[in-house]
Amino acid sequence: MKNLTPPTANTVHEAGLAALPAELTVDSGLAQLPAAMQRLEFISLRAIMELLSSSGALTPDNAVRSSDEIINTLGAACRHHWLVRRWLVALVEREFLKLSNGYYSWEQIPESAAGADKLPEAYDALGFPPEMAQSHQKLLTHLAELVRDQVSINQLLFENGEILTALAAYQNNWFTTYLNYAAASIVKQAVKPGPMLRVLELGGGAGLTTAAILDTLAGRPINYRFTDISPLFTTAAQKKFRNHIGLRCSLLDINADFTAQSIPAASTDIVVAGNVLHNAAHIGQNLQRIRRSLVTGGWLLFSESTRENHAMLTAMQFLLSPAESESLLGSEDRRGGTDQVFIDNTAWQEELVVAGFEVKCFLPASTSPLSVAGQTLFFAKAV
């Protein structure tokens, strides 16, 4: 690893684009993505506004309310209080609510009632499978019950036990396809004659990042360890990738010592993590564990949400609410007291440097239409 020349940001970007449909990457194909994402986010925010209005949390006479008053009127479960506060922040950012001296009131109520029936069109334009729109429609229908914990998101999304199917639908879109194949191109760059390349994937989940890497390598030998905290995912991955020589699956908790989980110090050349590191109880400590597992000169590739996607405020964000006896993710790190689960590009770069990494690049560029989802790929070198 020490003697390898890392690929350039442009090379990685082009590899990600190559995985997208041709019609998307020519003419104005990519340029259509921001408008589609805006429609999707608006539908989600509209559902929140309708709930605030119908519950009496914010009234037509425009009486001002504090966040605590809004939460109490909604009847929100304690563990979802943080999420309601994020709803309010999002509505202020989009100028649907105004905030003055800690009190909220209506700024405007949009005339266009873009409802859940418009979700399939918006999701299709962003490359999601039909199942994602269907799932989100169901969640919007039960938004009041969800925030009150009268029904759980697991009951609605995974009612038939199809957890892998539901998560794959969420993770399968143009943005993650671009990021996964961009990451795969970096791994491909590191596969050279000589000692077997040792790759550790954290939080492999439905295996979409894994599939992109293995597809790009096209059968070249590699020592690949797929890990996740749940045996549901490791068992499925073992079956899905059973024909790939060199891949093995095992359980691993990113919030526990890696050495105690059979990942010795300096035993890995590349660590890959697809949209999982925000689940760290403490981001800095998690990055330090990863750094210890890597050889000097090793690479860390990970994708993360670096802005709050407003569409997910009425969907997958419910999965991040802590159990009643637990704290919200990040309560002990830089996220503490903010209600924010995700940190931005600058914060990630700062955390990486402190943990002993040199940031080589991150994609997509802020000027790219692909940046509208707030999903970013980081490529860093252990120093």
Note the pLDDT tens digit of each residue in 117-174: 889 999 999 999 998 999 999 999 999 999 999 999 988 988 666 677 777 778 899 9
* pLDDT for position 160: 66
Written as six digits, the tokens of 134 are 């269907």
167 Cβ contact partners less than 8 Å away, ≥ 6 residues apart: 205, 206
Percentage of residues of the chain with pLDDT beyond 70: 97
Note the pLDDT tens digit of each residue in 265-289: 999 999 999 999 999 999 999 999 9
* pLDDT for position 58: 93
**How large is the average pLDDT for residues 84-101?**
96
Written as six digits, the tokens of 356 are 């002993």
367 Cβ contact partners less than 8 Å away, ≥ 6 residues apart: none
State the DSSP string of 39-90. HHHHHHHHHHHHHHHHTTSS-TT---EEHHHHHHHHT--GGGHHHHHHHHHH
Written as six digits, the tokens of 334 are 């830089």
Higher pLDDT, 29 or 211: 211
Burial (CB < 10 A; 0-12, 13-18, 19+), residue 224, is buried
* pLDDT for position 2: 64
* pLDDT for position 192: 87
pTM: 0.94
In the predicted structure, residue 321 carries a pLDDT above the cut 80: yes
Work out the pLDDT band at 60, boundaries 50, 70, 90: confident
Of 3-7, 120-124, 227-231, 295-299, the poorest mean pLDDT is in 3-7
Work out the pLDDT band at 346, boundaries 50, 70, 90: very high
Coarse DSSP helix, strand, coil percentages of the chain, rounded to the nearest 5 percent: 50, 15, 35
| Mean pLDDT taken over the chain | 93
In the predicted structure, residue 344 carries a pLDDT above the cut 60: yes
Work out the pLDDT band at 193, boundaries 50, 70, 90: confident
In the predicted structure, residue 335 carries a pLDDT above the cut 60: yes
Q: How far is the C-alpha of 113 from the C-alpha of 49, rounded, in Å?
A: 11
* pLDDT for position 112: 54
In the predicted structure, residue 27 carries a pLDDT above the cut 70: no
**How large is the average pLDDT for residues 332-341?**
96
Q: How far is the C-alpha of 7 from the C-alpha of 319, rounded, in Å?
A: 35
The CB density around residue 237, as the number of other CB atoms within 10 Å, is 24
DSSP character for 3? T
Work out the pLDDT band at 377, boundaries 50, 70, 90: very high
